[in-house]
Amino acid sequence: MFKYFENLVDPYCDYPEADTPPTRLWPFMAQYMRPFRKVFFLATIMSIVVATVEVGLIGYMGRIVDLLSTDPTTVWAIHSVEFICVAAFVLLVRPALQALDVLLLNNTVLPNFGTLIRWRAHKHVLRQSVGWFENDFAGRIANRIMQTPPAAGEAVFQVFDAITFSLAYFIGAGILLMDADPRLLLPLLIWVALYGCLVGWTVKRVGPASKAASDARSQVTGRVVDAYTNIHSVKLFAHNNRELDYAKDAIEKARETFQAEMRIFTIMDVTLVLLNGVLIVAVVGWAVWLWMQGSASVGVVAAATALSLRLNAMTGWIMWALTSFFRQLGVVAEGMETIAQPIDLVDSQGARTLQLSEGKVEIQSLSHHYGRGAGGLDQINLTIRPGEKIGLIGRSGAGKSTLVKLLLRFYDVEQGQIKIDDQNIANVTQDSLRDMIGMVQQDSSLLHRSVRDNILYGMPDASEDQMIAAAKKAEADDFILDLEDPQGRKAYDAHVGERGVKLSGGQRQRITLARVILKDAPILLLDEATSALDSEVEAAIQETLYGMMQGKTVIAIAHRLSTIAQMDRILVLDQGRIVEQGTHSELLSAGGLYAGFWQRQSGGFLNADEAAE
């Protein structure tokens, strides 16, 4: 039975992906609700049925009181069939209706609705560009991805569990009182009007207050995760107290926003108690007065009393449900600031798969300043022949990394174009472009997974032998076989920790190299590929790297000039422009910037400050 209801909706069903999601709350929620339309309709019906049954039972209790006022010896003889039918309904039908209602809510809606939102939100965020992620805290992004789905699920739950039920209950209560005596409806209507005013006052304030509190909590998460992610820097500079102060500012803001939210609930609770007192006195008092006038039976007084007490018990729950509903919507609205952001880097309409035949790279009139009008690259023209090995050097900020990021299309170029085998990379799919490029970065961070998973990231369907062969070529197999994590997993099954923190820089770099070796892409980008290696390992790796380069188009960024001296051509970037190019010997003979860098090396590294002088 549970499986049937749990599988009524598939949270991973296909859906039309939108590059620009709705930015208003209700259209945003509506796109996630589409697979649940039939379930929501049935849940609405069941909520109304359950409320009607509850009101009907209170009305029937009034009838029983009236029947008890008659001759006891004849009650059973006349009404026995009626009593048995009602008893059977209460024992069998009522639980079945309640079960269907809660199964729809607890087993169909709650688990699947939140899962659907989390899955689609994560899928949407993963499509964002590198630049988008660089402009926010990873912790805050993750926090919004995690807290928005349960908030949306809770809001939907309250619609059916409380809001629809309470509306049906109030209408049923009004009908019951009016049927007993139309005059009993008057105090209920007055109370409903006052209750509605309180609800309006609360809802108007609790939405913005909960959004502010949720935003403050996300800021706390972002700052705390930032400190944990950079714990080495925190410890290295002995800045525990500084990080505590930085976090305390956000924690205090979260406390203040939460206090403001709780004040609203305190005012609401006190006012609600006063209103409920008015309800009990007005309805019960009026019913007693009608009985004293001979206009109402004892059963009517009993039903009115029971209904008033039931409403008194329900109103706090209903108010809590309503405020919870709008609080959760506030959390969703805060999460939308991340989840509903448009994709800022998309494949062009009709983008094709990159067809790579030779590996020729052409850069034409390329300028990119990150929207600032300065920095980055300025009017770069460059043709890299198929299979040519290019070395790229320059001072920090000269534009080396920018060129690599644009070649990978982590950003769209602001001016000019980049072609690979006569295909503008702006007109091919991003995935097919990056499939053709292998990249070894200076920051060799790894996934918090096993060594095997990290190496296979280069080619997920590679065999075990291929994976181990790649590790051996990267001089990584020996140290991998000695690894063991705290859970007892060994060798290639050992987990490396967040960003590979359990390994040394050189070990991380070799696993990264193994991953790229396994990928075997026709275009190879090396950004300080051996910077984290000691001299002995680097000497062994250099031979592997040169082997990797055979038959590939290569761009290698290096500060250690000896690592690129054997390249076919070396480019010198300065202030976003190519100011020198040629072979190692040609550039030394020219006596320009490259020659100056070479002369001022210390241990083979570029001393950019001295060169600038």
Domain of residue 238 covers 18-339
Which pLDDT belongs to residue 63? 76
- Burial class from Cβ neighbours inside 10 Å (0-12, 13-18, 19+) for residue 163 reads middle
Cβ proximity of 577 and 380 under 8 Å: yes
The first and second tokens of residue 550, run together, are 């055979």
Is 372 among the domain residues? no
Mean pLDDT of 259-270: 84
SS3 361: strand
Three-point CA angle 128, 130, 133, nearest 5°? 75
Angle between helical axes of 37-68 and 164-180 (0-180°, round to 10): 30
Give the C-alpha distances (Å, rounded to integers) separating 135 from 101, 123, 129, 182: 45, 19, 10, 63
Within 10 angstroms of residue 508's Cβ, the number of other Cβ atoms is 22
Residues 6+ apart with CB under 8 A from 79: 67
Say whether pLDDT at 268 is over 70: yes
Cβ proximity of 182 and 302 under 8 Å: no
Cβ proximity of 368 and 376 under 8 Å: yes
Q: Give 568-593 as a DSSP string.
A: SEEEEEETTEEEEEE-HHHHHHHTSH
Is 598 among the domain residues? no
Within 10 angstroms of residue 77's Cβ, the number of other Cβ atoms is 8
Distance CA 129, CA 210 (A): 30
Cβ proximity of 276 and 194 under 8 Å: no
Parallel, antiparallel or unpaired: strands 569-574 and 437-440 = unpaired
Identify the top-confidence range among 122-136, 267-281, 524-538, 576-590: 576-590
Angle between helical axes of 298-339 and 110-126 (0-180°, round to 10): 20
Specify the DSSP element, H or E, that contains 56.
helix 37-68
Task: Please provide residue 342's backbone torsions phi and psi, each rounded to the nearest 5 degrees.
Answer: -65, 150
- Please tell me the least confidently modeled range out of 19-28, 178-187, 191-200, 413-422: 178-187
Mean pLDDT of 467-477: 86
Average pLDDT, the chain: 81
Specify the DSSP element, H or E, that contains 466.
helix 464-473
Residues 6+ apart with CB under 8 A from 62: 180, 299, 300, 302, 303, 304, 306
The first and second tokens of residue 2, run together, are 């549970």
Report how many domains make up the chain: 1
More confident call, 87 vs 558: 87
Is 589 among the domain residues? no
More confident call, 25 vs 296: 25
Distance CA 64, CA 61 (A): 5
pLDDT confidence bin for 349, thresholds 50/70/90: confident
Say whether pLDDT at 373 is over 70: no
What percent of the chain shows pLDDT beyond 90?
0
More confident call, 374 vs 142: 142
Distance CA 338, CA 333 (A): 10
Mean pLDDT of 506-512: 81
Which pLDDT belongs to residue 613? 40
To which residue do tokens 């503008």 refer? 424
Is 149 among the domain residues? yes
Say whether pLDDT at 383 is over 60: yes
Q: Per-residue b/e over 336-351, b at no fewer than 16 CB within 10 Å? A: bbbbbbebebebeeeb
Within 10 angstroms of residue 356's Cβ, the number of other Cβ atoms is 21
- Burial class from Cβ neighbours inside 10 Å (0-12, 13-18, 19+) for residue 12 reads exposed
Say whether pLDDT at 610 is over 60: no
Say whether pLDDT at 602 is over 60: no
pLDDT confidence bin for 536, thresholds 50/70/90: low
Is 122 among the domain residues? yes
Bridge partners, residue 362, by sequence: 383, 419
pLDDT confidence bin for 535, thresholds 50/70/90: low
Mean pLDDT of 128-137: 78
- Burial class from Cβ neighbours inside 10 Å (0-12, 13-18, 19+) for residue 413 reads buried
pLDDT confidence bin for 530, thresholds 50/70/90: low
Mean pLDDT of 129-139: 77
E strands in 250-376: 361-368
Distance CA 137, CA 127 (A): 17
The first and second tokens of residue 16, run together, are 């039309």
Q: What is the pLDDT of residues 72-130, one digit of tens each?
A: 778 777 778 888 888 898 899 988 988 888 888 888 888 888 888 888 888 888 888 87
Which pLDDT belongs to residue 190? 83
Distance CA 438, CA 131 (A): 20
- Please tell me the least confidently modeled range out of 3-7, 79-83, 137-141, 536-540: 536-540
pLDDT confidence bin for 612, thresholds 50/70/90: very low
- CATH code assigned at 55: 1.20.1560.10
Specify the DSSP element, H or E, that contains 300.
helix 298-339
Distance CA 264, CA 273 (A): 15
Distance CA 539, CA 506 (A): 13
SS3 348: coil
Task: Tell me how far apart the 2 most distant CA atoms of the chain are, in Å.
Answer: 124
Is 506 among the domain residues? no
Question: What residue type is assigned to position 431 of the chain?
Answer: D
pTM as predicted: 0.73
Is 567 among the domain residues? no
Which pLDDT belongs to residue 121? 86
SS3 324: helix
Which pLDDT belongs to residue 529? 66
Which pLDDT belongs to residue 422? 87
Which residue in 56, 319, 35 sits closest to 175, CA to CA? 56
Distance CA 421, CA 359 (A): 6
pLDDT confidence bin for 609, thresholds 50/70/90: very low
- Burial class from Cβ neighbours inside 10 Å (0-12, 13-18, 19+) for residue 457 reads middle
The first and second tokens of residue 485, run together, are 């994590």
Cβ proximity of 412 and 347 under 8 Å: no
Is 74 among the domain residues? yes
